[in-house]
Chains A and B, each alone.
Chain A
Amino acid sequence: MLNVVVEIGCDFTELLRQHQAMVFSIALHFLRDRATAEEVAQEVFFSLHRNLHQIETPLHAAAWLRKVAVQRAIDEGRRRSRKPQLALEDVAEPAAAAVKPSDPLLSELLRKLIATLPEAPRMVMVLRYQEDLDPSEIAAALEMPVATVKSHLQRSLVLLRGKLARRGIGESGWTG
């Protein structure tokens, strides 16, 4: 089994094991396609393999992988943007009365709603709620101003609340 060890101890196999879920999930939640997400994730790790000599610490490796995963996912999203995307109206929705907190149907609806967001706010939401990054960390990963990140977060949350409310889904009783 390949086991490249760099002088500072960043073992490629170990980095792959530790971060494969993060990289795959960033691609999956952004692209909403498992096969494509795996292709993107493989490319990210292959890029790491080629650039392992640049990695200074395990912490640096995690940040590096996250940033490259974001870039590759966005690039792939742009390549696929010519294909007709699922309109929000076509998204299958759970019956409002059937939705409860922590409902898998609600999770699936939220993922689909996020997939309809434009590229930048969509990735901001993924990094915020998948990776639990704060706005300054998201700004660094996406190379955008912190104020822009905060604006994307705020507007996306307002948008999602509105869409859910129109479907009778919300905090008050969960039946609208």
Chain B
Amino acid sequence: MDWLEDELRRALARQDAPVGFAERVLARGRREPHGARRWLAAAAMVVVAAGAAGAWRQHQGYEAKREMMLALRLAAAPMHRIQLEVKDITQ
């Protein structure tokens, strides 16, 4: 075996992680949500937002219809009076 490669293996042998390393990693993992749970939370937010957008569009539709009906009633009122007057005249 080549002497330099032997020495390189010795020089670059794995060293133990610092004392307490695993505990620090685990402690940090407890502080932040698990990856899968974050994805689920994000997906849930998208669904809620889509539902809210749909409900808003439906509300806007109802409002538009209500306003149109009111406008028609207002427009129709004078016509109704005219019809009554014409009826009176012709009778």
Interface string of A116-136 (1 = CB under 8 A from B): 000000000110111010000
Answer whether residue B17 sits at the interface, using C-beta atoms and an 8 A cutoff.
yes
Let me know if A49 and B34 touch, CB within 8 A.
Answer: yes
Size band of the interface chain B makes with A: 20 to 34
Identify the 7 closest CB pairs spanning chains A and B, nearest first: A50-B35, A107-B11, A110-B11, A20-B17, A24-B17, A130-B12, A129-B8
Let me know if B15 and A42 touch, CB within 8 A.
Answer: no
Let me know if A130 and B21 touch, CB within 8 A.
Answer: no
Listed in ascending order, the chain A residues whose CB lies under 8 Å from chain B are: 1-2, 4, 12-13, 16-17, 20-25, 28-29, 34, 38, 41-42, 45-46, 49-53, 101-102, 106-108, 110-111, 114, 125-126, 128-130, 132, 157, 160-161, 164, 171
Interface segment, one of B25-33, B67-75, B79-87:
B25-33
**When the two chains form the complex, which single residue of B5, B22, B35 contacts A49, counting CB atoms closer than 8 Å?**
B35
A-B contact count, CB below 8 Å? 99
Whether A110 contacts B30 in the complex (CB less than 8 A), given A20-B22, A28-B15, A46-B25, comes out as no
> Chain B residues with Cβ under 8 A from A128's Cβ?
8
Cα of A4 to Cα of B29 in the assembled complex, Å: 10
- A contacts with B: majority SS: helix
Cα of A52 to Cα of B34 in the assembled complex, Å: 9
Let me know if B13 and A130 touch, CB within 8 A.
Answer: yes
Let me know if A24 and B26 touch, CB within 8 A.
Answer: no
Cα of A23 to Cα of B11 in the assembled complex, Å: 16
Closest B residue by C-beta to A35: B18
